[in-house]
Amino acid sequence: MLKRVLILRPEGVEPALLLAGRIADAAEQADVGVRVADTWSDVPDDALDDADLIVCVGGDGTVLRAARLAVPRPLPILGVNMGRLGFLTSLNRDAFFDQFDRILAGDWEVEERLMVAATITEGDAAGRSFYGLNDIVLSRRSPGRPVYVELAVDGERVALYRCDGMIVATPTGSTGYSLSAGGPILAPVERHLVVTPVSAHLAIGRSLVLEPSSTVLLSIRSDEGAILTVDGQEDLPLAGSARVSLSASEHAARFAVLDPPSSFFGHLAERLEVQLSSAMNNGD
């Protein structure tokens, strides 16, 4: 049985605030302890340590944030979307309350998703580490100017890229920025990282799918440096001498799954179609 739940929702988004309040009231009436926090706040460690489940009310951005906050705890995450089909939010508002008894009973399967870990090994920020559920990107700092990034895999030099950026994506992130840059789609339970260059010039322009145990080293060769971005949400400027080591993380993101789709690729096609239709209707 569920005893304590942490609800994350973005501050200032009225529909998310209202839905989070409804979920909190329903949980408290069922004698479940509730903590509610802003997605982008500094969530107290005790709120994470005590929780049995993180309920994310909003979109994929809230889920990505929750996955990083959960590290290193084995906390399951359940995403509730706000009307649009997200890639990481498995339930809409009505489905959540239809399944509320099952959620209270902990009647779900846990699906583990690979995360990518990055450690800065040289430069002013040496020693800092990051975890991403989607991807970690090294990109240019100045519009119109490429970044020079040297790639090594398992200690062997691959190439010096003159590009807009280098994406190191997880299987979950393979349907995001990496896909838009020409990368392959991997099933989310795969254990491989994908390295995808963005607008590479005079270098290998294709993605590399790595062995599960491989380590990537990205060395910045541009005087102006680069920007390290985690899940599209955290940015860190790096100097031109910086190096970043990346590999599959020992920590996994864990999702509470009530009814797994029969086909990942069919489910993916549905969501891509809905997002394309939404973009066309909005004139994007």
Task: Provide the annotated active-site residues.
Answer: 60
The sign of the CA dihedral 16, 78, 53, 231 is negative
Among 206, 271, 10, 239, which Cα is nearest to 122's? 239
**DSSP conformation letters of 33-47:** EEEEEETTS---HHH
d(CA 67, CA 51): 14
* Distance, CA of 146 to CA of 162 (rounded, Å): 6
The dihedral of CA 184, 189, 193, 198: what is its sign? positive
Pick the closest to residue 81 from 263, 266, 275, 251 (CA basis). Answer: 275
**Of the candidates 239, 242, 237, 227, which has an alpha carbon nearest to the alpha carbon of residue 164?**
227
- Residue 267 identity (one-letter amino acid): H
Q: Which amino acid is at 265?
A: F
- CA–CA distance, 117 with 129 (Å, rounded to integer): 7
How many residues are present in the chain? Answer: 284
For residue 171, cis peptide bond before it (omega within 30 degrees of 0): no
Q: Locate tokens 């590009």: which residue?
A: 163
Structural contact between residues 64 and 90, judged by C-beta atoms closer than 8 angstroms? no
